[in-house]
Amino acid sequence: MASMNLNRVYISTKARNNHYILAEFKPDDAFYACFDSSSACYERLSRQLFALCDEYELHNVHVIANDKLPVVRYHDEAYTMQTEKQILFFYNPKFHEAHQTYLNDGYQARKIRILFLATGNELRANAATFHSKVKKVLDALKEGFSPVEPQFRVRDHQHLTYDLFAKAKGDKESYGYKLRALYPRYQARNCTLPEEYSEMTYATFNIPVSRAIKTEFQSQMRPGDYGQFYRTLEDAFLSSCADKQLNMVAMVADGRLPIVRSAKIDKSDTNRELQKLSFDTSSGDNQIYSLFHEANLVDTIRFVIVANHKDKKDMGYGRFMNHVETAIKRFVAQLPVNVEKQDINVRFFQHISYDY
């Protein structure tokens, strides 16, 4: 029984689930040549897509034709916010539905993205069914655009978000998750995936640079020179992770949002808003990113802990997440954080992607 418990991570029953699938393709000149204009292309694509989504009961779907990266988060109110590089979708899967197209007048997209947001209850239990429906929609969509069928890259994303210190706030109810890998979960539910695929599993959490932290570390902070402060937090974080053999990690304190990718597919890259971090999960070597500008003090420091191939167990990633939780707790214990009042939200990510 003790061994079984090590393979489960006990998470508050108030944890929030998100599940979405991003299907993207790069339209070439031959594809655009089939339409009078790029706007006509997006209009026809959206019309056919949304009709298929109605047929397969996919109620929250978006076409993104302005080359912005979608970021999905849970929220009790549905709204969308755009920056130069991103579209942020906030929604509650239980209630919110929408079919929308996002484009810029006269702009021809280098990549067209279709975002399928899961809706309803029990998103994890119904994940394979949702994925199967999306595949059926993509099959029909490709047939409708023959002979210039789009070749999709399908990216399935699942998030589980929870306050690591919920018990300290009086929340005693929890549920034991095995956190099985997506591929065997889907195969067991008759959702067939290609043999060639890429998979990433990781956890993130943020630490706001609060007044308490500024006061605690004021001797290490000088106007225009915050390097010692960042290095102190970096050392504490890396030490906490090393104690649990977590050797693929990142600390991002340059104001950018970290985006985790497989090194077999994507190289690390950056723009004004996003920091792409590529990890080779098949390697046992240390892979550490520490990104900050000594001259600038950010409002929030973001942390990433990635699972490698040794963390992938038949039982799931429960043991990995137990190690992650221990590392975060040891790190937070070194900071002036009142866990009875302040949330430390951990977000567990599971991604799988393939060409389709």
Q: Does residue 133 share a domain with residue 22?
A: yes
- CA 273 to CA 348: how far, in whole Å? 22
Q: What is the pLDDT along the chain (356 residues), one digit of tens a residue?
A: 344 578 899 999 999 999 999 999 999 999 999 999 999 999 999 999 999 999 999 999 999 999 999 999 999 999 999 999 999 999 999 999 999 999 998 899 999 999 999 999 899 999 999 999 999 999 999 998 878 889 999 999 999 999 999 999 999 999 999 999 999 999 999 999 999 999 999 999 999 999 999 999 999 999 999 999 999 999 999 999 999 999 999 999 999 999 999 887 766 677 878 899 999 999 889 999 999 999 999 999 999 999 999 999 888 999 999 999 999 999 999 999 999 999 999 999 999 999 99
Q: Which of 188, 218, 245 lies at the terminal end of a domain, its last residue?
A: 188
Residue 193 domain-assigned? no
Domain CATH code at residue 180: 3.30.70.100
Q: Does residue 225 share a domain with residue 154?
A: no
pTM of the model: 0.92
Q: Does residue 215 share a domain with residue 263?
A: yes
Residue 195 domain-assigned? no
Query: Is beta strand 287-292 parallel, antiparallel or unpaired with respect to 274-279?
Result: unpaired
Q: Which of 165, 188, 211 lies at the terminal end of a domain, its last residue?
A: 188
- CA 29 to CA 244: how far, in whole Å? 51
DSSP letter assigned to residue 168: G
At 237, list the tokens.
Answer: 């974080």
Q: Does residue 159 share a domain with residue 23?
A: yes
Q: Does residue 290 share a domain with residue 335?
A: yes
Q: Does residue 84 share a domain with residue 162?
A: yes
Neighbours of 72 (CB within 10 A): 18
- Our count of domains for the chain comes to 2
Quote the domain boundaries for residue 126: 16-188
Residue 51 domain-assigned? yes
Q: Which of 158, 188, 218 lies at the terminal end of a domain, its last residue?
A: 188
